[in-house]
Structure 1
Amino acid sequence: MTDKQKQDEQPLTLREMLQSVVAAAFGVQSNKHRARDFSRGKPSHFIILGVLFTLVFVLVLFAVVKLVLHLAGL
């Protein structure tokens, strides 16, 4: 078995999954990575990371708005 075949059978790393979730969230996921995600990834991992990413994204937006309003004196 070649290294490429071994790599294609291994589950995705946390970094690969995070990159896929962020790319998908912003709509820039490539077909190559999408195919990799479907063949090597687990849906439950992507769902959990997607929910966590969305939560963090909303909290960061909320914090930025609060900071801007505070600096504007409102």
Structure 2
Amino acid sequence: MSNKQKQDEQPLTLREMLQSVLAAALGVQSSKHRLRDFSRGKPSHFIVLGVLFTLVFVLLLVAVVKLVLHLAGL
């Protein structure tokens, strides 16, 4: 079995999943990576990472708004 075939059968690494979630959130996911995600990734992992990303994003937005309002003296 070649190295390429072995790599295609292994589950995605955390780094690969994070890159896919970030790319999908920005709307720039390539077809090649999307196909890789569907063939090697587990939906539950992407759901958990997507929910965590959304939570962090919302908390970051809230923090930025609070900081801007504080600096504006409101």
Is 1:69 aligned to 2:69, yes or no?
yes
Cα shift at 1:59: 0.2
**What root-mean-square deviation, in Å, do the aligned CA atoms of Structure 1 and Structure 2 show?**
0.4
- Give the gaps of 5 or more residues in structure 1: none
Give the TM-score, by structure 1 length. 0.99
One-letter amino acid of the structure 1 residue matched with residue 43 of structure 2: P
Cα shift at 1:49: 0.3
One-letter amino acid of the structure 2 residue matched with residue 24 of structure 1: A
Cα shift at 1:56: 0.2
1:50-61 aligned within 5 A: 50-61=50-61
Q: What stretches of structure 1 move > 3 A for 4+ residues in a row?
A: none
Is 1:31 aligned to 2:17, yes or no?
no
Partners of 2:61 and 2:5 in 1: CA distance: 42
Between the two proteins, the alignment pairs up a number of residues equal to 74
Cα shift at 1:20: 0.2
Partners of 1:73 and 1:28 in 2: CA distance: 38
Q: State the partner residue of 1:20.
A: 20
Partners of 1:28 and 1:61 in 2: CA distance: 21
Partners of 2:28 and 2:61 in 1: CA distance: 21
- Indicate the percent of aligned positions where both proteins have the same amino acid: 88
Cα shift at 1:40: 0.1
